[in-house]
């Protein structure tokens, strides 16, 4: 007999997990209207789903097929619709949780409504030393300018207030916040950021990198508060039917919260993590991406970088000046050398690279940087450009090259339409939110919501993707309808392609043999629903790894 | 049938792991001279050890007992001695690894010998951008002065060299290192440090806080280099028969290296981690200590704090001045308020607290702070005082109160004896390295080595503990022999008590039913060996969790 080794022990434990024993039989979710795409994007229908003890798909069963007699469990869904779980290819997990726990201004239609909500929150939370929150959008308010510290002072002056714009690319503080941060008329805008001023006086709004001037004095959440925020985010995601998500810009503290949750056995939603900058990713992963942890529920696989800001705050980097601000073209966040150094450092150790690029200039620069890497870092790299919102049509073919993934957010198109027209004028929209052109040019199209900038609702994104219309059906016929894609293409971008974009297509993204049994029960058939009906879909149950993780009360 | 839940799935997997199946039978290590202490510290002898598939002790078998027929594996040790793995209650894991991988000047008898070793190392490591190392001692060299940068330049001038003195309280650089750090004739010695100079020119040696002037430019190890250092440390520990250790002052980067190693399935030695300061521990653990991870191989359970410095550099905080430096008494590292705040913050969330205290004043202050906490933070707290080297005899009874653990290092007594006599004079030694007094006063005594300050050799510590003599048998009859403890008491301090000191006594520390099967095969019976023979014990195999993790080549 041989002396025991670690390898042998591991093999034995694996054998125990895969051997059929008395205690371990498959489970069956039966009597469903099951629908999934296969790996070629073809629609499959089934009525039963056989799930292994490890939570993987054993078989899709047709109505006519005999069910196994020996089962560990059986759930009868009485004909309800079962779909693969959705995957959000671009979200901000912790921000979603904190947004839900902090002052939330999303949905406010005017500055006055926002002020009323701020005042009520401050009155209801007298113990909070700072009022923290976000979700405002001066465009939605019809304000035509940023709000000011003075306006905020009229509702809260006894303590600092610090509120992020919906897109996270600007923040609004009151005078107490500016004072706490030591911001004065002498304060200078940092590289990659802008202190909004009235004359020489900072007037309360800080764009992009300038936000750090105040954020350095904002109280940081305690680790146990982060855990609460994470569980909140996870619950929200599951309530929308999202079973896996990319986390675009994981900080060290975010990562530690995910690990604590995983260690405690409470991690449900699968997180494809992209470290905030190369240093964070490498500090966590070391010589390369981490393995998949907690039964394929967490992996630090890559790096998030920023090539520019956002369109709303005119931080997006354009080839030509903004139509509504002739002196401005935005700015790049990294020099040519810096972006290449970052890409190289990440790629050397096989970290995937995901670069935020909104403006046409930023997209062109990132494409050039990727093209410069391609000869050195061969193999399956799956370079990602996040948002890819405004692309010069001459640059569109460059997406298909080098296997670049266009990671886009359909609801941004519906939310940003009017603003984009104002920022860009009529002649620069040919490559804006150009989903169909991306596919035609050979890019892989992965969809997400950029939550909490938008709601993490995949049904809203799905409907927008094949209609180019918002929830009110506007505009009639769709905005630049030539960029619509099919219902099935959009579904794939929110499932299989979003998994592929995170090197996870062998693990999840569709219901197929060997895939993790991540699925949802919903109240209608999304392939037969009108766009309005599709947007109204209710998720009733969310299952992850063959176990029910969430259900509607 | 019930719908499947996560709890149910977990139960099923556990059932699979514990159910006897065809593939999973116990293993037997047979034909051993097995010796362990039981939980009451009584010696047990056995000839066979039955180990479960999960790597736990099923049974200790006497020679007369029948062996099971059905076994997964059987190892015949031909009568060799089998002992429980040792536990080091106080070590520095990553420092042990880095010390082993860098240039090691310890043992050099002259400057010339050191120069030859430096030159050889530089030649063998042409790719290293800096030559980093330590272990020199100009007193041992008979130099009568510090070495100089110019002397270092004669062997390495093409790149920076930076070498720590054996005690860590000074470092020696070459001209390239001084240049890289921007040190010039204009550089000023910082508070708490001294730049050694010849005339006005810095001459290469930096004392205490002045070391930071150069260290700020010394390249920090990359995460992948940390992984290599960790694996090296683990191998060294296993070669000494150490199967579990406290890590006294884990940094975030240390922790991330342990997790990477655990995630990759390469963590062998069990680490009881104490975060470097409250912030590090809480940032990792969140609302409380982490669970035991990787099959009881890693846990962030507490916090390491420093109440004072060390005796050799007169940084230890004494009640009365040093005998050999009448104007100095050392100093406390924390004010009364600060230490109480730290203890309180840690204890609030049930982090264990381990405070470094060397001098009698530091020990008294820590005892007072713990006493102030005891009414507020009740329950099983296991407050630890690390080193507890010089204690005023009037304070000794305070150790037995509040369940305080004295975490001490026997080899420090043998190494420090002459120095301690010089520092303290003859009248303050009654409470110095007072192991027996600690036990008599009801303290829990846990032993370690403080590696890499001392070698992590538990046999050297064990022999010192019951002889109060060094490896040369000096002094005759033992130094203050009334503080000797029995051979069995010392063994327990290096095993069961060291586990108890880390809240791990239910998991490891002895060979008993249900404990992790952590054991070593050695070349002699330590209970029959003379002190000299005991020190010469060779570890031949180290098993952790019922699997062979290391063996002598």
Read off the pLDDT of residues A254-290 as tens digits, 9 standing for 90 and up. Answer: 999 999 999 999 999 999 999 999 999 999 999 999 9
Task: Tell me what percent of the residues of chain A surpass a pLDDT of 70.
Answer: 96
Rounded to whole angstroms, how far apart are CA atoms A171 and A214? 9
Tell me: the pLDDT tens digits for B158-191? 999 999 987 777 899 999 999 999 999 999 988 7
Confidence category of residue A237, pLDDT binned at 50, 70, 90: very high
Q: What is the CATH number of the domain that holds B57?
A: 2.30.40.10
User: Quick one: pLDDT at residue A159?
Assistant: 97
Q: How far is B147 from chain A (nearest CA, A)?
A: 37
Dihedral of CA B477/B480/B482/B484: which sign? Answer: negative
Among all residues of chain B, which has the CA nearest to that of A287? B224
**Shared-domain flag, residues A238 and A376:** yes
Q: Quick check: B23 and A27 CB within 8 A?
A: no
Contacts B51 to A, Cβ<8 Å: 4
Task: Give yes or no: residues A281 and A413 share one domain.
Answer: yes
B121 located within any domain: yes
Residues of B in contact with A1 (CB under 8 A): 71, 73-74
Task: Please report the pLDDT score of residue B11 as a whole number.
Answer: 45
Residue of B nearest to A283 (CA): B223
Do residues A359 and A330 both lie within one domain?
A: yes
Partner-chain contact B4 A264, CB within 8 Å:
no
- Are B498 and B524 members of one domain? no
- A338 band by pLDDT with thresholds 50, 70 and 90: very high
Tell me the three state secondary structure of residue B135.
strand
* Domain-ending residue, one of A172, A195, A216: A216
- Are residues A498 and A91 in contact, defined by beta-carbon separation less than 8 angstroms? no
Asked if pLDDT for residue A9 goes beyond 60, the answer is no
For position A181, which CATH number holds? 3.10.310.70
With CA atoms as reference, the chain B residue closest to A77 would be B3
Domain assignment present for A36:
yes
What is the pTM assigned to this prediction? Answer: 0.91
B322, B206: one domain: no
CB distance B72–A282 less than 8 Å?
no
Taking only the tens place, the pLDDT of each residue in B247-295 is: 999 999 999 999 999 999 999 999 999 999 999 999 999 999 999 999 9
Per-residue confidence band for A495, with pLDDT thresholds at 50, 70 and 90: very high
Q: Kindly state whether residue B299 falls inside one of the protein's structural domains.
A: yes
Cβ-based neighbours of A237, under 8 Å, separated by 6 or more: A88, A91, A93, A96, A245, A269, A456
From B408's Cα to the closest Cα of chain A, the distance in A is 32
Among B252, B256, B291, the residue with its CB nearest the CB of A264 is B291
- The minimum CA-CA distance between A24 and chain B, rounded to whole Å, is 7
Q: Tell me, rounded to whole angstroms, the distance of Cα B80 from its chain centroid.
A: 28
Using one digit for the tens of pLDDT, what is the confidence trace for B78-127? 999 999 999 999 999 999 999 899 999 988 999 999 999 999 999 999 99
> Are the beta carbons of B223 and A285 separated by less than 8 Å?
yes
Instruction: For residue B470, tell me if it sits in a domain.
Output: yes
Contact A21 B16 (CB under 8 A): yes
Domain assignment of residue B322, yes or no: yes
- Co-location of A424 and A521 in the same domain: no
Angstroms from B19 CA to nearest CA on chain A: 9
B9 and A546 within 8 Å at the Cβ level: the answer is yes
Find out whether A106 and A423 touch, Cβ atoms under 8 Å: no
Interface probe for A, chosen from B9, B56, B228 (most Cβ of A below 10 Å), is: B9
CA distance A500 to chain B (A): 23
| Chain A: residue whose CA lies nearest to B294 | A263
Residue B423 has pLDDT above 50, yes or no: yes
Based on the fold, state whether residues B409 and B307 are members of the same structural domain.
yes
Q: What is the pLDDT of residue B15?
A: 45
What end-to-end distance do the CA atoms of chain A give, in Å?
56
Closest-CA distance, B89 to chain A, in angstroms, reads 25
Q: Are residues A408 and A547 in the same domain?
A: no
In this structure, the answer to whether residues B489 and B519 fall within a common structural domain is no
Please state, rounded to an integer, the average pLDDT across all residues of chain B. Answer: 93
Report strand pairing: A242-250 vs A270-276.
parallel
Q: Do A23 and B19 touch (CB under 8 A)?
A: yes
Is the Cβ pair A548, B13 closer than 8 Å? Answer: no
Cα(B121)–Cα(B128) distance, rounded to whole angstroms?
10
Total count of domains within chain B: 3
CB contact at 8 A, A458 and A497? no
**pLDDT per residue as tens digits for the range A448-479:** 999 999 999 999 999 999 999 999 999 999 99
* Of the partner residues A3, A10, A284, the one whose CB lies closest to the CB of residue B256: A284
Give B294 to chain A, closest Cα distance, Å.
Answer: 10
Q: Which residues of A touch B284 (CB under 8 A)?
A: 223, 256
CB B137 within 8 A of CB B168: no
Task: Measure CB to CB from residue A4 to each of B5, B73, B260 and give the nearest one.
Answer: B73
Place of tokens 């909004």: A196
CATH code for position A430: 3.20.20.140
Q: Which of A4, A257, A283 sits opposite B27 (nearest CB)?
A: A4
First CA to last CA across chain B, in angstroms? 56
Q: With an 8 Å Cβ cutoff, are A223 and B285 in contact?
A: yes
For residue range A140-161, list pLDDT tens digits in order: 899 989 999 999 999 999 999 9
Task: Give the separation between CA B312 and CA B387, rounded to whole angstroms.
Answer: 14
- The mean per-residue pLDDT over the stretch A172-192 comes to 95
Residue of B nearest to A548 (CA): B5
CB contacts of A13 in chain B (<8 Å) are 17, 53
The answer to whether the CB atoms of A19 and B15 lie below 8 A apart is no
In a domain, B75, yes or no: yes
pLDDT on residue B23: 56
Residue B242 belongs to what domain range? Answer: 223-508
Nearest CB to B73 within list A1, A6, A256: A1
Does pLDDT of A211 surpass 60? yes
The per-residue DSSP string of A265-295 comes to T---SEEEEEEESHHHHHHHHTTSPPPPBTT
3-state secondary structure at position A153: helix
Quick one: residue B416, left, alpha or beta (phi over 0 = left, psi -120 to 50 = alpha)?
alpha
Q: Cα–Cα distance between B245 and B132 in angstroms, integer? A: 26
Within-domain flag for A4: no
A70 min Cα distance to partner chain B (Å): 12
| Nearest partner of B507 among B339, B294, B309, judged by Cα | B294
User: Hey, are the CB atoms on B263 and A293 less than 8 Å from each other?
Assistant: yes
User: Taking CB atoms and an 8 Å cutoff, what residues of chain A touch B349?
Assistant: 224
pLDDT of residue B317 exceeding 80? yes
ipTM of this complex: 0.89
Same structural domain, A291 and A254 = yes
Which of A193, A216, A239 corresponds to the end of one domain? Answer: A216
| pLDDT > 90? residue B50 | yes
| Nearest residue in B to A299, CA atom | B263
> Which among A23, A300, A351 is the top mutation candidate for probing chain B, defined by the most B β-carbons within 10 Å of its own β-carbon?
A23
Q: Are residues B211 and B296 in the same domain?
A: no
Contacts with B5 from chain A: Cβ below 8 Å: 547-548
A257–B223 C-beta distance less than 8 A: no
Total CB pairs under 8 A between chain A and B = 143
Rounded distance between C-alpha atoms, residue B520 and residue B516, angstroms: 13
Do the Cβ atoms of A6 and B285 come within 8 Å? no
**What distance in Å separates residue B412's CA from the closest CA in chain A?**
35
Q: Answer whether A9 sits within 8 Å of B222, measured CB to CB.
A: no
**Which among A5, A23, A256 has the least Cβ separation from residue B283?**
A256
Interface test with B, best of A8, A11, A12 (most B CBs within 10 A): A12
**Cβ–Cβ gap A12/B23 under 8 Å:** yes
Of A5, A257, A287, the CB nearest to B548: A5
Radius of gyration of chain B (CA): 25
CB contact under 8 A, B4 and A75: yes
Evaluate if residue B142 carries a pLDDT over 70.
yes
Distance from CA of B289 to the nearest CA of A (A): 10
Q: Give the long-range contacts of residues B471-474, CB within 8 A, separation 24 or more.
A: B471/B414, B471/B535, B473/B531, B473/B532
Of B200, B216, B232, which closes a domain? B216
Instruction: Note whether B12 contacts A53, CB cutoff 8 Å.
Output: yes
Q: Do A198 and A331 have their domain in common?
A: no
Q: Which 3 state secondary structure label does DSSP give B12? A: helix
Nearest-Cα residue of chain A relative to residue B55: A9
Question: A256–B284: do the CB atoms touch at under 8 Å?
Answer: yes
Which region, left, alpha or beta, applies to residue A545 given φ > 0 means left and ψ of -120 to 50 means alpha?
A: left
- The alpha-carbon gap from A17 to the nearest alpha carbon of chain B, in Å, equals 7
Kindly state whether residue A6 falls inside one of the protein's structural domains.
Answer: no
- Mean pLDDT value across residues B212-230: 96
Task: Give the residue from B2, B5, B6 with the most A CB atoms within 10 Å of its CB, the best one to mutate.
Answer: B6
B526-550 pLDDT, tens digit per residue, is 999 999 999 999 999 999 999 999 9
Rounded to the nearest angstrom, the minimum Cα separation between B21 and chain A is: 8
């Amino acid at each position: 007999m041989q002396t025991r080794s670690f390898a042998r022990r591991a093999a034995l434990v694996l054998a125990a997990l895969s051997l059929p024993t008395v205690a371990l039989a498959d489970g069956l979710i039966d009597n469903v209207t099951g629908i999934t795409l296969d790996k070629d994007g073809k629609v499959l229908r089934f009525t039963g789903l056989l799930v292994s003890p490890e939570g993987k798909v054993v078989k899709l069963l047709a109505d006519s097929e005999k069910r196994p007699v020996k089962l560990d469990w059986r759930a009868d869904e009485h004909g309800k619709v079962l779909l693969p779980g959705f995957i959000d290819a671009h979200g901000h997990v912790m921000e979603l949780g904190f947004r839900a726990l902090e002052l939330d201004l999303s949905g406010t239609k005017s500055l006055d409504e926002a002020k009323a909500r701020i005042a009520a929150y401050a009155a209801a939370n007298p113990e909070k030393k700072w009022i923290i929150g976000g979700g405002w959008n001066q465009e939605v308010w019809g304000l035509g300018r940023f709000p000011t510290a003075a306006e905020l002072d009229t509702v809260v002056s006894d303590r600092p207030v610090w509120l992020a714009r919906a897109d996270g690319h600007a923040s609004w503080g009151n005078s107490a916040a500016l004072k706490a941060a030591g911001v004065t008329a002498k304060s200078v805008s940092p590289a990659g950021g802008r202190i909004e001023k009235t004359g020489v006086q900072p007037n309360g709004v800080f764009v992009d990198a300038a936000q750090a001037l105040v954020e350095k004095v904002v109280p940081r959440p305690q680790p146990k508060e982060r855990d609460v925020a994470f569980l909140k985010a996870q619950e929200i995601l599951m309530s929308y039917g999202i079973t896996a998500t990319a986390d675009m810009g994981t900080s060290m503290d975010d990562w530690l919260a995910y690990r604590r949750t995983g260690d405690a056995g409470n991690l449900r939603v699968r997180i494809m993590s992209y470290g905030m900058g190369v240093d964070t990713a490498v500090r966590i992963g070391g010589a390369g991406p981490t393995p998949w942890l907690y039964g394929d529920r967490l992996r630090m696989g890559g790096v998030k970088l920023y090539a520019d800001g956002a369109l709303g705050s005119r931080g997006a980097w354009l080839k030509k000046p903004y139509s509504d601000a002739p002196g401005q073209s935005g700015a790049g966040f990294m020099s040519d050398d810096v972006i290449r150094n970052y890409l190289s450092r990440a790629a050397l150790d096989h970290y995937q690279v995901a670069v935020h690029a909104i403006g046409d200039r930023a997209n062109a620069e990132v494409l050039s940087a990727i093209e410069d890497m391609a000869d050195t870092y061969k193999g399956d790299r799956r370079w990602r450009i996040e948002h890819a919102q405004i692309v010069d049509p001459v640059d569109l073919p460059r997406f298909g090259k080098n296997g670049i993934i266009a990671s886009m957010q359909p609801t941004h198109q519906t939310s940003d339409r009017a603003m984009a027209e104002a920022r860009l004028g009529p002649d620069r929209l040919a490559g804006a939110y150009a989903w169909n052109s991306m596919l035609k040019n050979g890019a892989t199209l992965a969809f997400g919501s950029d939550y909490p900038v938008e709601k993490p609702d995949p049904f809203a994104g799905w409907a927008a993707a094949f209609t180019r219309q918002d929830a009110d059906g506007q505009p009639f016929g769709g905005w630049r309808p030539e960029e619509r894609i099919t219902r099935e293409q959009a579904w794939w971008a929110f499932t299989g392609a979003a998994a592929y974009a995170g090197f996870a297509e062998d693990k999840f993204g569709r219901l197929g043999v060997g895939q993790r049994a991540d699925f949802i029960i919903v109240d209608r058939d999304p392939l037969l629903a009108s766009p309005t009906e599709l947007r109204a879909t209710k998720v009733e149950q969310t299952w992850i790894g063959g176990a029910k993780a969430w259900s509607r009360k």
